[in-house]
Chains A and B, each alone.
Chain A
């Protein structure tokens, strides 16, 4: 059976454009969740998020008539392709799968509000061209000349992780030797207001696994991973970052927003991924948690991890405490973080974790990054509707 390796990474995050600032930010434990500047937030319970800084976005050589999300996606995808050292001919063989949810909604909101208030068409109709989440995959494929299969995955907050899982399956099945997989999402008013209305947002930066956690923080960005058949990568002399050993996908089929109280679906995703990798649970040294900071998620996630791994010896941490929850991009950003954790032997911390919840009896690496020689790591993502994805990566040696 084919082995699937990671040969390129690209990121746009609240730390700026690029994998380097992303890793420096995560491993320094510097929380990038701040007051939102992108739109009005007066009167809302939570007014903060992990926002991609304006100067970083302005520096991109992408037309401002593209949606904010498409600009994120294009920059991250370009970085991943350059990092992997792909030629134009190799790009023409590569497929692309992108997790998306918000699409170009931010620009559509602006267009609609201007029209509703002035009664006139604000002449920005091209903004509406990229409203669908499928726009990210179209723009990336078109601008980079990717000629393989192209798909968009809309699976709420696990979209980015699911795209990585599905892209690997296409490689294993021999459909394509090379895949660009990732997730893209920008902050939107509808997401901000919706999560505020659900009372799921913490007014302060989120504190996953903390006794006093009050909800999540929103975020935004994009991340892409170049996945490649190992024989193909070896043939062109590429050096992998890590191997993607397996994935597990499951659905709770339980409730539109609440996870299954017994963590049934989450446990199935985790155990399926272990079974497909042929690994005992004890081989996993680190879990990059979904860790949103909501009361329900963190409790359910800890329940599942405790049942599968026991509580002794497992290290885990939540990137969302540092960059917020980037929705469809989150699973892809965290997959990149997991690969870099294996590569550098450093676990990025869980920020804002002052009082660990006694119901979550794990070592969650509070505040400060920790050197740890991890060989196998898992990245978990869970979306509304009980859409669960576990990815298992192994250090490349």
Chain B
């Protein structure tokens, strides 16, 4: 799966599972950061990250290993799409 397609799928997850306003996801680019507290980020908190990671597993058919340090992979859309693509995401 192309990283561009992964980004589109993540936009859809933000709307359906994290209840983002669809208009807000149009502005999301690879440079957009995720964690709360960063200037211009999506403002996700720890519960949002659990919901997001479960939704990613179900959407892309991959397994995310919790014993890994996952924070760097969820830092930005650039990092997250790279992480998902490397896991061999399916359509």
Interface residues of A (CB under 8 A from B): 61-66, 123-124, 126, 129, 142-143, 145
- Asked whether any CB of chain A lies closer than 8 Å to the CB of B36, the reply is no
Beta-carbon contact of B66 and A123 below 8 Å: yes
The residues of A that contact B16 with a CB separation of less than 8 Å are 145
Closest to B67 in A: A123
The residues of B that contact A124 with a CB separation of less than 8 Å are 66
Q: A126-B50, A129-B50, A142-B17 are in contact. Are A61 and B58 (CB under 8 A)?
A: yes
The residues of B that contact A123 with a CB separation of less than 8 Å are 66-67
Beta-carbon contact of A66 and B54 below 8 Å: yes
- Asked whether any CB of chain A lies closer than 8 Å to the CB of B63, the reply is yes
The residues of A that contact B88 with a CB separation of less than 8 Å are none
- Asked whether any CB of chain A lies closer than 8 Å to the CB of B45, the reply is no
Tell me the bound Cα distance from A65 to B64 in angstroms. 9
Shortest A71–chain B CB gap in Å is: 10
Closest to B49 in A: A126
The residues of A that contact B58 with a CB separation of less than 8 Å are 61-63
Closest to A122 in B: B67
Q: A123-B66, A123-B67, A142-B17 are in contact. Are A61 and B61 (CB under 8 A)?
A: yes
Beta-carbon contact of B66 and A126 below 8 Å: yes
Beta-carbon contact of B50 and A63 below 8 Å: no
The residues of A that contact B17 with a CB separation of less than 8 Å are 142-143
Set A63, A129, A142, A145: member contacting B57, Cβ < 8 A: A63
Tell me the bound Cα distance from A123 to B50 in angstroms. 13
Closest to A129 in B: B50
Tell me the bound Cα distance from A257 to B55 in angstroms. 41
Closest to A125 in B: B66
Beta-carbon contact of A65 and B61 below 8 Å: no
CB interface residues, B 50-79, toward A, < 8 Å: 50, 53-55, 57-58, 61, 63-64, 66-67
The residues of A that contact B64 with a CB separation of less than 8 Å are 65
The residues of B that contact A66 with a CB separation of less than 8 Å are 54
Beta-carbon contact of B66 and A64 below 8 Å: no
Tell me the bound Cα distance from A65 to B17 in angstroms. 16
A65-B53, A126-B50 given; 6 more Cβ-contact pairs under 8 Å: A61-B61, A62-B58, A64-B57, A65-B57, A124-B66, A126-B66
